Structure 1
Amino acid sequence: MKYIVPLLAVLMLSACATQPVTSGISVEQSKNSFNEQLRVDNLDLGNKLAITDVKTRQTNQLTDVVVTLSSQYKKSQYLQYQFNWFDKDGFIIKGNHSPWQALTLFGFAKTQLPGLAPSSDAVTFSLAVREVSTESQEFKD
């Protein structure tokens, strides 16, 4: 059975100034075109990113995806991303999210982010993207 990834959503997390900040972006697939809809907790980061393409295929009964993330900003962005996978009923597949991966996205550049489902039960996914602070952080007593 061929699985179609109908929804890509960047998860939203709230954070204070010294913590990473997450932006939300979702893309729905419709006849090989993508309608971008921003769901943003961090409007500033959301305005600097766009998902311009999503490709899927089946590899050994696992959903294999490549998400093209594009910078809409002139300067480099220091980010982290993470895939989470969901079953056909929309429930997260517990314990099977990928670790946060570092990503430097240069001004107006595009990059492809690959993801592989952890099991054949995974039919949709979400992609979380957050900013990483470049300022040094001090621990206080």
Structure 2
Amino acid sequence: MLNSTIGALGLRVPAGAYLNISGLKSGVYFESWDVHDMIPEADYHLVLKRTRILKDNFTGELEHGPYERGWLFFLDPNAHVRISNSELRKVFIDLINEDVEFENLRVGIPSSLNYRDIKLKDVIVMGQWRKNC
């Protein structure tokens, strides 16, 4: 992606991949960024050059409409994930033939989640938590 302004960036973290980040926010500009800088084992290619991700506040540019903002993560249950002190739009976790109960997940205030080797601590989800069954 080159010379762009986007509302959101959705990243898939595949099984066996590692993601370890803290302090992630929306409203950022990348002169040059490669998905492998964040997810070294990503099984896809994505490079951003001179690209901005809009702030997740639904004001200003592109205020109206069904637009996503900020960061979305699609987490395989067998990924190794650590996200802390970050602001995300949505978090998706794929569950297959598994009954799991999550508690105290909130929207708009810091929440934490521990599931397998997925650890989210003091993460503010602005949109939704979602488990895909």
TM-score scaled by length of structure 1 = 0.25
Of structures 1 and 2, the larger Rg is shown by: 1
TM-score scaled by length of structure 2 = 0.26
